[in-house]
Amino acid sequence: MVEKRKFTVNVQKATEGGYSGRCLELPGAISEGETLKELKANMKEAILLVLESIKKDTKSDDKLVIEISS
């Protein structure tokens, strides 16, 4: 089963047109798009790439999972 995760993206409208986005939970995940739909697709790809990089660079014994209830 695939784990679903949610990420918050700060979206800004560019003065020259289009949009830029930055994932608040993964600061390295940044992208842009001409439309909000394109930005969303590009952000999904950027987030997946950052998560893949983190997974590759982290040994399984270096992880600690913390669950916080709000």
* Per-residue pLDDT in tens (0 to 9) along the chain, 70 residues: 777 999 999 999 999 999 999 999 999 999 999 999 999 999 999 999 999 998 888 877 777 888 999 8
pTM: 0.81
Asked, for residue 69, whether it belongs to a domain, the answer is: no
Asked, for residue 49, whether it belongs to a domain, the answer is: yes
CA-atom Rg of the chain in angstroms: 14
In our burial notation (b when 16+ CB lie closer than 10 A, e otherwise), range 39-57 reads bbebbeebbeebeeeeeee
In our burial notation (b when 16+ CB lie closer than 10 A, e otherwise), range 1-33 reads eeeeeeeebeeeeeeeeebbbbbeebeebbbbb
**What is the model's pLDDT at position 55?**
86
In which domain, by residue range, is 21 found?
Answer: 9-62
CATH number, domain containing residue 38? 3.30.160
Asked, for residue 3, whether it belongs to a domain, the answer is: no
